[in-house]
């Protein structure tokens, strides 16, 4: 049996695609839900820029992200982004990270998926 590939996911927005914002938010929610259902979980998920809205208070995907964290997925949110959007105290899942650590994770991964 071959060893599972290490996958990192970087999410830089709170919706998927361009066009109707409501549809984009729905697609993001569906994407994260789908991650909870697949057998091969990513090793980590990094949230940057507007993606941090998914890991902070009021996010429609918090429970799904908490489930992923409970299943061993490292949930990481950009500290500089939290400061920029004044959401440092609103982080509700995972840990604060920096770009240096994100780069290390991407280099260690077999595949990095970027959603921007």
With respect to residue 2, please indicate whether it lies within any of the assigned structural domains: no
For residue 25, the enclosing domain spans: 7-115
Residue 5 has pLDDT above 90, yes or no: no
Domain containing residue 101: CATH number: 3.40.1260.10
Which residues in the chain belong to E strands, given as ranges? 7-11, 44-47, 74-78, 95-97, 111-115
Number of domains in the chain: 1
**pLDDT tens column, 11-56:** 999 999 999 999 999 999 999 999 999 999 999 999 999 999 999 9
With respect to residue 79, please indicate whether it lies within any of the assigned structural domains: yes
**pLDDT tens column, 73-103:** 999 999 999 999 999 999 999 999 999 999 9
With respect to residue 41, please indicate whether it lies within any of the assigned structural domains: yes
Q: What is the mean pLDDT of the chain?
A: 96
With respect to residue 54, please indicate whether it lies within any of the assigned structural domains: yes
With respect to residue 110, please indicate whether it lies within any of the assigned structural domains: yes
- Cβ atoms of residues 27 and 37 within 8 Å: no
With respect to residue 99, please indicate whether it lies within any of the assigned structural domains: yes
With respect to residue 1, please indicate whether it lies within any of the assigned structural domains: no
Report pTM: 0.94
DSSP alpha helices (H): ranges in 42-98? 62-70, 79-84
Residue 1 has pLDDT above 50, yes or no: no
């Amino acid at each position: 049996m071959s060893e599972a590939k290490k996958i990192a996911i970087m999410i830089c927005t709170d919706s998927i695609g361009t066009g109707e914002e409501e549809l984009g938010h729905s697609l993001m929610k569906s994407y994260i839900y789908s991650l909870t259902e697949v057998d091969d979980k990513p090793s980590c998920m990094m949230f940057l820029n507007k993606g941090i809205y998914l890991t902070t208070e009021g996010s429609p995907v918090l429970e799904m992200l908490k489930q992923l964290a409970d299943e061993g997925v490292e949930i990481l949110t950009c500290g500089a982004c939290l400061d920029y959007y004044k959401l440092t105290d609103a982080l509700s899942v995972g840990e604060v990270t920096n770009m240096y650590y994100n780069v290390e994770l991407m280099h260690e991964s077999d595949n990095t998926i970027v959603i921007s």
